[in-house]
Chain A
Amino acid sequence: MASKDIKGFYRQTKKKGGGGQAKAKDKAAPSNSKKKEWGGKHTGGASVGAPDPAQTPALIAHGSLDLVDDYGEEEERLRQFDMDMRYGPCIGLGRLQRWERAAAMGLNPPPDVARILQRPSAALECLWDGRV
């Protein structure tokens, strides 16, 4: 598939910083109309190819949340961890178990997720648990 079309398709024009915004893991600026580069350089070793192929724009909420649910930023961060394909599918594992598995595989999962999971308020099961 031609990369040109993808870049055009995923042009992000309505990103304003806001609640549902995924914090892109390796890009600093929260408000970006940057086009995601597909097929760019890949990080070698254990991690998955192109930087952030898992954080496809389709999975990141554009703009602000339409519906403010009864979960906060912490849960949002944990959900982003669930959806990150670098660490494998999230169904069938507890979140902490998946984090530890990722650490054992050398994938360097983000330490802030581990910190959030230690708190009593954190849900230990993944997003789809009991719903699929």
Chain B
Amino acid sequence: MAEDAEMGDGAAMLFHRKQSIYRSLDERYEIHGERYRGQQYSQIYFMRLHHMRNLLRSLVPKWKPNMPVNTVLGLEEGKECILVGTLYKHMKLKPSILDEYSKERSALPLAKPHNFIHHDDHLILEDESGRVKLSGSVLAPAAFVTGVVVALHGKETSDGDFCVQDVLEAGLPPQIELPIGPGEDKYVVFVSGLSVGSSEFNPLQFQLLVDHITGHLGDENEQSIASEIVRLLIAGNSVQISQGLVNGQNIAPKDHSKITEPLKELDIMLTQLVAAMPVDIMPGSNDPANFSLPQQPLHRCLFSGASAYNTFVSSTNPHQFELDNVQFLGTSGQNIDDLNKYSDAKDKLEFMERTLRWRHLAPTAPNTLGCYPYTDKDPFLLESCPHVYFVGNQDKYETRLLEGPEKQLVRLICIPKFSETGVAVMLNLRNLECHALTFSTNLEC
């Protein structure tokens, strides 16, 4: 893939786009012909607890040597010990489906607060034998959510609570060392929330992005930078089809075009992009994919133009891949948005850091986040630490380089919604440095 550049004297310079070796690691998120047989979510919680329990038990001797590990039913009052189990957060404001049935049908609109935290929330620990209420000021309920597996050091009080003195989280998983070398600069561009078909969508803004990345804009400096972009990743919510149409009823023929138009428009733009470079597209919460995580890849028939190219990759959500041996992992935002509803942190990057320390991509699944009821594994458990961890469809661009206790280095990226901000993110594979690409069609500067 080459772009031409016109220099002042009329001679053309040919830029060749750089390439990277790509390997998709999405098999763990793909669902192939599994049958649901009534297990609900008991199996996935069992697998999660089993896996994390082994891990935490191996970390306990270093954390608190000579302290016995007990089960909840084995607790004795006043005796200090360690418990390992899954946290459950009891939240007063959490919407429950049963409330809709207990109230009279008075069409009360359920007020939807953005965040369901209440100062009365308390945590309960559940392990393989039972549950116990947790007390003590060490464990702040606002920082935790249901579904996290931790080890707790403390003792049972006379009211039957477990008073927590210390908490052990699994911590960042081990990381394969980053292949840092004096190589050349290669960039990956992240964008999310294109929302083609929505009222915020600005086609000119998107076209500017496409032209800039494919090298059809700018002078030779810009084009040489564009030639160093090896991949584009679209992290969800590429289309927005008005909600009124997809409420389960038959769609009138006149409305058919309202559904197909956004997809066709997206396909046209994608075709321009895949003709120039490899593109990964992930499904998001608004896209025509399944609702529960892990979302399966968008079907090729939705992109009749773009899917003809072998540079077009439709991936799952969450998406895990490796590019020149740099490990990438990310989602279209549902996991972090759900954490935002049920817990508190100073910014979205802190939520991301917590998921890494808990070694679980989406701890609130399946409690408040839709999830497939697996029987044999919990695919969101993190076995190894990625080098780049991204989350799409956030409100603003934020990034941080996280350092772990065992020299892990993770670039955390919050990708903002492009239709609202016009910002895409560019990451340098060589040194994990990140910067924003802002596109604006406003004529007033």
Contact = CB atoms under 8 A, between A and B. Distances in A.
B375 A50 contact: no
A120 interface: no
A42 B75 CA distance: 12
Contact of A53 (B40, B128, B160): B128
A93 B440 CA distance: 54
Interface stretch (A11-19, A63-71, A75-83, A84-92): A84-92
B398 to A, nearest CB: 39
Interface string A93-111: 1000100010001000000
Contact of B43 (A39, A92, A129): A92
Q: Which of B57, B70, B74 has the most CB of A within 10 A?
A: B74
A87 B270 CA distance: 48
Given A42-B69, A46-B50, A48-B128, A92 B373 contact: yes
Give the contact-size bracket for chain A.
20 to 34
B42 interface: yes
B128 A42 contact: no
Interface string A15-45: 0000000000000000000000011101011
Contact of B76 (A3, A49, A132): A3
Nearest to A37: B74
B37 A48 contact: no
A42 B74 CA distance: 9
Given A42-B74, A132-B38, A88 B46 contact: yes
A89 B73 contact: no
A58 interface: no
Contact of B73 (A44, A50, A92): A50
B54 interface: yes
Nearest to A53: B129
Contacts of B75: 1, 39
A19 to B, nearest CB: 28
Contact of B38 (A1, A86, A92): A92
Contacts of A92: 36-40, 42-43, 373, 375
A3 to B, nearest CB: 6
A48 B39 contact: no
Main secondary structure of the interface of B (DSSP, over half): loop
Contacts of B373: 92
A41 B127 CA distance: 17
A5 B77 CA distance: 13
B160 to A, nearest CB: 7
B168 to A, nearest CB: 17
A35 to B, nearest CB: 15
A1 B160 contact: yes
B71 A49 contact: yes
Interface in B265-296: none
Interface string B26-64: 000000000011111011001100100010010000000
A117 B69 CA distance: 35
Contacts of B50: 46, 88, 105
A44 B60 CA distance: 12
Contact of B71 (A50, A89, A129, A132): A50
B57 A44 contact: yes
A89 B46 contact: yes
Contacts of A91: 37-40, 42
Nearest to B51: A105
Interface in B195-217: none
B71 A53 contact: yes
Interface string B107-150: 00000000000000000000111000000000000000000000
Contacts of A93: 37, 39, 43, 375
B99 interface: no
B57 A49 contact: no
B376 interface: yes
Nearest to A107: B50
Contacts of B375: 92-93, 97, 101
Q: Which of A39, A42, A86, A105 has the most CB of B within 10 A?
A: A39
Given A45-B54, A48-B129, A53-B129, A89 B74 contact: no
7 contacts: A39-B70, A39-B71, A42-B69, A49-B128, A50-B129, A89-B39, A92-B373
Interface of A: 1-3, 38-40, 42, 44-46, 48-50, 53, 85-86, 88-89, 91-93, 97, 101, 105, 128-129, 132
| Nearest 5 Cβ contacts at the A-B interface | A92-B39, A39-B74, A49-B71, A88-B46, A89-B42
Given A53-B71, A53-B73, A53-B129, 8 more contacts: A1-B160, A39-B76, A42-B70, A45-B57, A49-B129, A91-B38, A93-B375, A97-B375
